[in-house]
Amino acid sequence: MKSSSQLFPVTLFKADFWEGYSEDVYLLKPNNSPDKTAEFAVTRLGHPDVCRNGLSRGEPVILLHGLYENRTVWMYEQHEMLCQLLNAGADVWIMEMRGHGLSKVNHDSRQNHWRNYARYDLPALQQFIREQNPARQTWLAREQGAVSLLLALEYGLLDKQSEDRFFVTRLGDLLRRDFPGLILARSLFNRKSRFIPAGRNEYESRLAIKQIWRQKSWFTGPKSLDGKTPLLKSMQQNPLSNLFYLSDMNDPHQRKLISRAGFTVVEEKAFSEALLVSLITNPVHKVG
């Protein structure tokens, strides 16, 4: 089967419509990580007028989910926001991490954590999307997806163009300060090989969860790729431009860390889906 990319093997897994919007699902196999079975799915959604009238797609908006999630968190829980983005003309891409949703379970699933997503998967995803649509990129990431994105940015693993923008949210649990022993207790709490908390929609490998909590500092949240320096502290030394944090917590200590790391903070009381869509799609023009 012919690849959908000149970069690495990409399979068009599905071509359909979702609630009237065009839906193409690709399986990407970059072969750039130690686990050669690793691949992941990305869903591309677009306004139907683009398909019918041969219009150029708008700017790419790339959505990354969190722990125990897959693309459904954007397509159903964030349904209204997603439809607003599509109606505004955005070229929406929804990544599903290894072993999540339509992504196949790879051989060494215990290595499915934010460091490897940052090192291998996000750069490959960006390259593929740039190949399909070279316009300015806007990223919106939550929880584990947000940490993966920040790691990739902080270590220069993404080709960050001057106009690209990055929005992260739902970092509260991952930034929470942990005390000695609590990380180990969390990783050992559930002995099943794969488990899912109540109210979530995706299983996670217990071994992968243990890896994630090992990569957290006890008092300052996720570590950088060097495994030593707290991520946000490292970002203070080299602040990034066009980086936005959508506030969802009240801890002053965490807010201070975030502000020092160079984020433009959008306060919770001022936040709304309409505001977010406006921030993301400006200056994308409405279709139809």
- Whether residue 233 is predicted with pLDDT greater than 70 in this model: the reply is yes
Distance CA 262, CA 271 (A): 19
- Whether residue 69 is predicted with pLDDT greater than 70 in this model: the reply is yes
Helices (DSSP H) in the chain: which residue ranges?
48-53, 72, 79-87, 114-116, 122-132, 144-154, 172-175, 182-188, 206-214, 231-237, 252-260, 273-281
- The answer to whether the CB of 143 falls within 8 A of the CB of 137 is no
pLDDT at 285: 42
Name the average pLDDT for the chain.
79
Cα angle value 213/216/219 (rounded, 5°) = 125
Digit-coded pLDDT (tens) for 124-171: 999 999 999 999 999 999 988 998 999 999 889 998 888 899 998 877
Q: Report how many helices (DSSP H) and strands (DSSP E) the chain contains, helices first.
A: 12, 13
Token code pair at residue 25: 């699902």
Digit-coded pLDDT (tens) for 13-65: 999 999 999 999 999 999 999 999 999 999 999 988 876 666 678 899 999 99
Q: What is the mean pLDDT of residues 68-83?
A: 92
pLDDT at 193: 46
Q: What is the mean pLDDT of residues 254-273?
A: 66
CB crowding 176-191: b at 16 or more within 10 Å, else e: eebeeeebeeebeeee
Which residue, among 3, 5, 41, has the nearest Cα to 23 in the 3D structure? 41
pLDDT at 273: 66
